Amino acid sequence: MERTQKKNTIGFEFGRDGVMPTLKEAISFLVNDLKIKDTEVHSVYLDLTDKTFFVKFIDETTLKEVTLRLKETEPFKYANGKVVQVRVAAADGFFRYVRLFNLPPEVTDSDITKVMAKYGTVRQMIREKLPLELGFDAFSGTRGVHMEVKTEIPPSLFIGHYKCRIFYDGLRNRCFVCRQEGHVKAACPSKASASRATELTIKFLSQHVQSLTLECERKSPEQQQQPTNQPAPAVAQSTTETKGVYDDATCISQTNPRNRFKTPPLRKEGVRRRQAPVTRPPATDDNGDDG
């Protein structure tokens, strides 16, 4: 269904609880109160659902001239003398019935209006009921919003702490992967190409591993069992050297009991221990005199 747009049109809103005027009362309001001539007007019609009556002008220039004379609200006088304030609004958006799914009843109409006002002018809120064929008279989790859509509404929104799905006539599918219109995430060409690239990579790696396995199996048993020429660890030699190094510790502990708990430093291999000089007594003759 092609979207329709009201052009060169203004609306006089009576509110959700307002009383719609008769067509005669509306014409009297235009001519007597607003001083609008019939030569400036293309058509006048009432919208009982939105509690608004619309005036379409002959062109955009006339529309601008009239709106400059009008205030945001104008006093409307019924035939019985009652006066109410009506809101004047330019009807330049697309009128749509927007449905919001998966909302609990605790979400108020004011919460919804606060969010949806970013995308247009909210006219009326509705709490939908369960389908009649179910035979159960209760409200559902679907809300309806009559509004002028001036900015595209995304397919989902957060209202309060709840994420709801959006649908209205004219909503265009938008992919969350490539951000392009005309398809959804499940049918995204970019996602399909990425999956294809991953499959090719896995296939290549599998073939490479298989070729390496076959190459290893082709080797002869002699090549697979060939021992490596590595020297054995010199365990016995180090044991003998350690024993020789600690021989002096035993001698020191035996000659001086105080040193039995002290361990002398290890001797480096190839370096001889320095011997203390031996002091000999002077030679004497048999008579005991020094020679």
Name the most confidently modeled range: 19-33, 57-71, 82-96. Answer: 19-33
Work out whether the CA dihedral 261, 264, 265, 268 comes out positive or negative.
negative
Name the most confidently modeled range: 19-23, 120-124, 178-182, 184-188. Answer: 19-23
> The domain 9-90 is classified under which CATH number: 3.30.70.980, 3.30.70.330, 3.30.70.360, 3.40.630.30?
3.30.70.330
Q: What is the predicted pLDDT for the residue at 245? A: 47
The model carries a pTM of: 0.38
Alpha-carbon span 100 to 226, nearest angstrom:
75
Q: CA 101 from chain center: how many Å?
A: 21
Would the pLDDT of 1 be above 50? no
**What would the pLDDT profile of 258-284 be if each residue is shown by its tens digit?**
555 555 555 555 555 565 566 666 655
Domain coordinates of the chain in residue numbers?
9-90, 94-187
Please state the rounded mean pLDDT for residues 106-128. Answer: 91
282 or 115: which leads in pLDDT:
115
Cα–Cα distance list, 279 to 108, 276, 282, 285 (Å): 113, 9, 9, 19
Neighbouring C-beta atoms of residue 158, cutoff 10 Å: 9
Cα–Cα distance list, 263 to 35, 246, 267 (Å): 120, 8, 12
Contacts of 104 (CB under 8 A, 6+ apart): 141, 162
The pLDDT mean for the chain works out to 76
Which of 12-16, 39-43, 107-111 comes out lowest in average pLDDT?
A: 12-16
Q: In sequence order, what E strands does the chain have?
A: 9-13, 41-47, 52-57, 73-77, 83-90, 94-101, 120-129, 139-149, 156-159, 162-167
Q: How confident is the model at residue 2 (pLDDT cuts 50, 70, 90)?
A: very low
Q: What is the predicted pLDDT for the residue at 222? A: 55
Closest by Cα among 124, 119, 125, 110 to 155: 119
Q: How confident is the model at residue 242 (pLDDT cuts 50, 70, 90)?
A: very low
Would the pLDDT of 161 be above 60? yes
**DSSP code of 174?**
B
94-187 carries CATH number 3.30.70.330: yes
Domains 9-90 and 94-187 equal at CATH topology level: yes
Which of 47-61, 165-179, 240-254 comes out lowest in average pLDDT?
A: 240-254
Q: How confident is the model at residue 150 (pLDDT cuts 50, 70, 90)?
A: confident
Would the pLDDT of 193 be above 70? no
